[in-house]
Structure 1
Amino acid sequence: MKLQLVNEQVLQWKMNQSLMQSIQVLQMSSMELMEYIREIEKENPVIEEIRYNDEHVQYRSSDTSVSIGEINSSELTLYDQLKQQLFTLSISEEIRPVVLFGIDSLNESGYLDVSLDIWAAKCNTTIEIVEEALKHIQSLEPAGIGARSLSECIELQLAAQSFVPAFLQDLIQEHIEWLADDNIQRISEHYGVSHSYVEEVIDHIKNCHPKPGQLLTTKKADYIIPEATIFKEAGNWKISFYSWSVPKITINTDYQNSTFKEKQTANYVKEKLNQLESLKKAIVYRSDTLERVIQVIVEKQHMYFEKGASMLRPLTLREIASDLDLHVSTISRTVANKYVQTTNGVLPLNFFLQSGIKQANGSKASALAVKQMIAELISNEDKINPLSDEKIKNKLALDYNLQIARRTVMKYREQLNIPASLKRKER
C-alpha cells in the first residue's frame, strides 16, 4: 500500500476557558457561587469588594467573619439532654458516675448498648448498683430510654401510662406479626382476652415510639438559599431575584488604571483582570438563563401557583429547552440545586418538572398531582368503609375526569405509605 499525505479541512469545536467557567457557574447554587467567588477573591488582588446590592461582603476585611453556613445555634446531643435531667433526680455520689457511664453507653435510638456485667466491670462496682443506675436512666424522659429490647422499650412507655398487659412481652417477642397485621381475632383467642381489650392494647402500642432516643436527636440544619421569590401582585405572578443571586464585583482602581513597567507584573495584572471579566460574564449568563427558565416554569405551572399541587402539569427539561431554544443539558444545569421562595414555601426547581402518566383518553397528568388527589380522597373517606383502590380509580374519573388504571392507584398509594383499605378500616 502506498502512503501519501492528504490535506483535509476539519471543523472542530473547542471549549475555551471562558465557556467552561460559564457552564461551571451556571450549575452552582447561590451558596456555592458565594464560596466560588470567595476562593477566586483570595488569589485575585484586583478585586476590591463583592457587593450584593446595598450589602457589602468584603471577605478579606476580617479573618473572624462567619459564613452563612457556619451560623449555628448551640445544639445539645442526646447524651447532653439526658444528663441535664439528672439534676431533677436524687442520686448519691456513689451511683452518679455509674449512671453517667450508662447514659454514654446508649445508642442513638436510646437503647442500652452494653451488658450489665460489662457495665459493672467498667465502673468497678456491683450488679446491684448497676441495676439501680439503670432504673434512674429508665426514669428519664422520653419514656423508653435505657431499654435493652423492643419489648422492654414498649413496656417502659406503657408503664408511664400505667398500662402494662400481662401478655405484652410474649406478644412482642413471639407474635409481633399479629400486631403488624392487626390480627385481633388471633391475639384474642391465643391469650383468652376480649376483642375490645386487644384493640385497646394495640392502640396503646401504636402510640409508643420504637426508638425514643430519636426524639432527642438534634438534626443539623441544611441551609437553603432561594434564588428568587415568586409572588402575586395585581393579579399577576411575578419573579423577584435576591441580591445574592447576582453579586456585583468591584475592581480595585489601583490595578485598573495603572501602567506597570515590569512586563511580568503587567502580564500578571492583565491575566487577573481577564479572569475577573470572565467571571462577571459567567455570573450574568447564569442570572439571565436562570431568569428565563424560571419565567417559563411560572408560565407552564401557572395553575399550580393559583390552585396548589393538585394542578401541577407534566413538564420536562426538553419542553423548556425547546421553548427557550437551548440545549437540554443547559436547562438541567440551570435547575440543579436551585430553589425558589413561593407562597407554598421554599421549593427546588426540580419540583416543577413532573413526569406524566398517560390516561385512557391519551392526555397526560402529573404523577405528583395524581398522588395529591389520591391522598385527599383517602383523608376525606369514611373511616368505617374506606375506599378500595377500585373505588379510588372510579372517583378520580368522576371527580377529576382522570382515567388511570387501578394498579396505578395501588402503586401511588404504596409510594405515599398509605395502607390498603382493609388496614385503614376503623372498627
Structure 2
Amino acid sequence: MSALSSSSSPLRLGIAGLGTVGAGVIKLIEANADLISARAGRALKVVAVSARNRKQDRGICLDTLRWYDNAADLVNDAEVDVIVELIGGAEGTARTLVEAALKAGKPVVTANKALLALHGPALAKLSADNAAPLLFEAAVAGGIPAIKTVREGLAADRLERIGGILNGTCNYILTVMRETGQDFATVLADAQKLGYAEADPSTDVDGWDAAHKLAILAGLAFGQPVVFDSLHVEGIRQIGSADLDFARKLGYRIKLLGLASLREDGLEARVTPCLVREDAPIAQVDGVFNAVVTESAFAGRLMIEGRGAGAGPTASAVTADLIDIARGKTVSVWGVEHSDKPALQALPLSAGKGAFYLRLLVEDRPGVIADVSAVLRDCGVSLRSMLQPTPARNETTPHVPLILVTHQTSEAAMQDAVTRIKALSVVTASPVVIRIETD
C-alpha cells in the first residue's frame, strides 16, 4: 500500500520556500495537528524543506527536518509523499521543481499563480499523464475558497461570468486615496512601509497579479486554460484622487476588477479599473480584502470575500489542499478531464461594449464642450451626463476638469473618440478613461 493510499501513516511533506507562507504552513500544521488529523483521517508531517538561507531565523524549529539546498532534490527523497511549492515565480526553480514532481508522479500543492497562469496547460497535461494531482487553492485570493467554489461547489452549473477584486494592494491604495484624498504616490509609499506593497510594486499596481488570478479563475470557470498574453491588462497608476472624488459625486466607487465572461463569439477577459455603483456589494469591499464573484445559470450570482494574502490565510488554503490529498480527494486541474482542446484566446478589447467615465483637462474658454461633444457625436458615442466643477472664487486657472459619462457604446467607438479628443487643441492632458460596470 502506498503512503498516499494508507490511512494510518502520516502524509509526509516536502516544502520548498520558507518565506512567510512556508513558515506559516509549518506553524499551522503544528498548532492544529489534532484537528487536521481528525479531518484528514491521518496526520500531516513535514519531513523535508528547501530554502535559500539555512541560517535565517523564521520563528520555527527546523532541526528535525532534512534540508535540501536544491529544491528539486525534494522530488528524489523517497520519504516525501507530496511537494509543496511556495517559492513563487513562473520560471526557474519553481517551474523545475513542479515539473519534476509531476513527472515523478508526486502530488503538488502550490500557491504560485504566475506559474499556473503562464504554464497551466503544460502542467495540467503532466498532472493527467502521470496521475499526479496538482492543487492550487492558495494561488487565488489567499484564504478565500475561490478555487473550491468554482471547481467543486459549482461543478454542476454552467458559469457565465467570473472575476472580482483580485489584488489587495490595489484595493488598499484605492480605498485610502478615496478616504483621505491623498495621491497615488503618497499612498503607495505608505503601503510599502506597512508591508502591503512590495519594494517593486509593478506586479500589483500595473494589474499583472490580478491578471494571473483571472486567468486561473477563467480557466476553471470555462473548463479550458486561457492564453495569458491575450488578456487586456491595466493598472491603477493613472487614477487620481480627483477621479475617486468625482466618482463619489456621480454615485460610484473605483475598483480594480478582473472580469471574464464567455460570450457566443468568444472569451471577454480583462483587468481594468472600473466604476461600480456605491451601493453594489463589491463596492463595500475595502482595504486589503479581495472578493470573487461568480454568475451561473442555476446558482445565479455569488460573492465570497476575505483576506487575499498574508501568511495565515494563504497557509490555511495550502493546508486545505493537503487535507484533500490526505483524504484521497482530488480533481483534475481545470475541473474537467484533460483534453487537447486549445487554450481560450481572449477577444480584443475593441470587441467589448460598455459605458465609460471620461475625465478631461481642458482650456477654460467658450466652445470647449461643443468641440468635445462633436467628436463624441461623430464617433457614435452618446453622452449620458456631464460634470463641470466650478473653480473656487480665489482660484484662477486656464485649465479645468471636464467629466463625461457615456451611455453603453462599443469599446472601438470609445477608443476612436478618445484618440480624436486627445488631438483637440483645447485638451491639455491625456484623457483618463474608466469603464463603468453597470451589472
Does the TM-score normalized on the shorter chain lie above 0.5?
Answer: no
Q: Higher Cα Rg: structure 1 or 2? A: 1
Q: TM-score, normalised by structure 2?
A: 0.20
Whichever structure has more strand as a proportion of its residues is: 2
Whichever structure has more helix as a proportion of its residues is: 1
